[in-house]
Chains A and B, each alone.
Chain A
Amino acid sequence: MFRNVAEVLKGMWITFKSMFEGTVTTQYPEVKRPVRHRFKGRHVLKRYDNGLEKCIGCSLCAAACPADAIFVEASENTDETRYSPGERYASTYEINMLRCIYCGYCEDACPTEAIVLGDNYELSFVDRSQSIYTREMLLEPVAPGGKTTPQQVQPGLFNRSIPVMENPD
Chain B
Amino acid sequence: MDWAVILEWVIKSVILLAVLVTGFAYTTFYERRLLARIQVRVGPNRAGPFGFLQPAADGIKLIFKEELIPAAAYKTIFILAPILTVLPALVITAVVPWGGSIELFGRAIPMSISDINVGILYILSVASISVYGIVLAGWSSNNKYAMLGGLRSSAQMLSYELALGLAFVGPMLIAGSMSLTEIVDAQRGIWFIVYQPLGAFIFYVSMLAEVNRAPFDMPEAEQELTAGYHTEYSGMKFALFFMGEYIKMIAVSAIFASLFLGGYRGPFVEQFPLLGPLYLLIKIAASLGIMIWIRATLPRLRYDRLMAFGWKVLLPLSLLNIFLTAVVIVLLDL
Q: Which residues of A contact B (CB under 8 A)?
A: 1, 8, 11-12, 14-16, 18-19, 21-25, 27
Which of B33-41, B62-70, B124-132, B256-264 touches A?
B33-41
- Tell whether, in the assembled complex, residue A18 and residue B313 are in contact, meaning their CB atoms are under 8 Å apart: no
- Tell whether, in the assembled complex, residue B293 and residue A16 are in contact, meaning their CB atoms are under 8 Å apart: yes
Nearest-Cβ distance from residue B176 to partner chain A, whole angstroms:
32
Residues in B with CB closer than 8 Å to A23 are 36-37, 40-42
Closest to A24 in B: B40
Can you report 19 residue pairs joining A to B where beta carbons are below 8 Å apart?
A1-B313, A8-B298, A11-B298, A12-B297, A14-B297, A15-B38, A15-B293, A15-B297, A18-B37, A19-B34, A19-B37, A19-B38, A19-B293, A23-B36, A23-B37, A23-B41, A25-B41, A25-B42, A27-B42
Interface hits, B286-334 → A, CB 8 Å: 293-294, 296-298, 313
Assembly CA distance A11 to B40 (angstroms): 16
Most chain A CB within 10 A, of B36, B40, B294, is at B40
Query: Which size bracket describes the interface of B in this complex?
Result: 10 to 19
Nearest-Cβ distance from residue A92 to partner chain B, whole angstroms:
41
Residues in B with CB closer than 8 Å to A16 are 293
- Tell whether, in the assembled complex, residue A18 and residue B41 are in contact, meaning their CB atoms are under 8 Å apart: no
Known: A19-B37, A23-B37. A11 touches B42 (CB 8 A): no
Assembly CA distance A56 to B42 (angstroms): 49
Closest to B313 in A: A1
Known: A8-B298, A11-B297, A12-B294. A18 touches B42 (CB 8 A): no
Residues in B with CB closer than 8 Å to A25 are 41-42
Assembly CA distance A1 to B317 (angstroms): 13
Residues in A with CB closer than 8 Å to B294 are 12
Residues in A with CB closer than 8 Å to B298 are 8, 11
- Tell whether, in the assembled complex, residue B297 and residue A21 are in contact, meaning their CB atoms are under 8 Å apart: no
The 5 closest A-B pairs by CB, nearest first: A15-B297, A25-B42, A11-B297, A23-B42, A15-B38
Closest to A25 in B: B42
Assembly CA distance A103 to B198 (angstroms): 63
Closest to A26 in B: B42
List 7 extra interface pairs beyond A8-B298, A15-B297, CB under 8 A: A15-B38, A18-B40, A19-B37, A21-B40, A23-B36, A23-B41, A25-B41
Q: Which residues of B contact A (CB under 8 A)?
A: 34, 36-42, 293-294, 296-298, 313
Residues in A with CB closer than 8 Å to B297 are 8, 11-12, 14-15
Residues in A with CB closer than 8 Å to B36 are 23
- Tell whether, in the assembled complex, residue B39 and residue A12 are in contact, meaning their CB atoms are under 8 Å apart: no
- Tell whether, in the assembled complex, residue A18 and residue B39 are in contact, meaning their CB atoms are under 8 Å apart: yes
Residues in B with CB closer than 8 Å to A24 are 40-41
Residues in B with CB closer than 8 Å to A27 are 42
Residues in A with CB closer than 8 Å to B296 are 15
Assembly CA distance A11 to B36 (angstroms): 17
Closest to A1 in B: B313
Residues in A with CB closer than 8 Å to B38 are 15, 18-19
Nearest-Cβ distance from residue B294 to partner chain A, whole angstroms:
7
Nearest-Cβ distance from residue B311 to partner chain A, whole angstroms:
15
Assembly CA distance A14 to B39 (angstroms): 11
Residues in A with CB closer than 8 Å to B37 are 18-19, 23
Residues in B with CB closer than 8 Å to A21 are 40
Assembly CA distance A42 to B55 (angstroms): 37
Residues in B with CB closer than 8 Å to A19 are 34, 37-38, 293
Assembly CA distance A8 to B298 (angstroms): 8
Residues in A with CB closer than 8 Å to B39 are 18
Residues in B with CB closer than 8 Å to A14 are 297
Assembly CA distance A143 to B296 (angstroms): 52
Nearest-Cβ distance from residue A133 to partner chain B, whole angstroms:
29
Closest to B39 in A: A18
Assembly CA distance A15 to B37 (angstroms): 9
Assembly CA distance A25 to B293 (angstroms): 20
Residues in A with CB closer than 8 Å to B40 are 18, 21-24
Assembly CA distance A34 to B206 (angstroms): 49
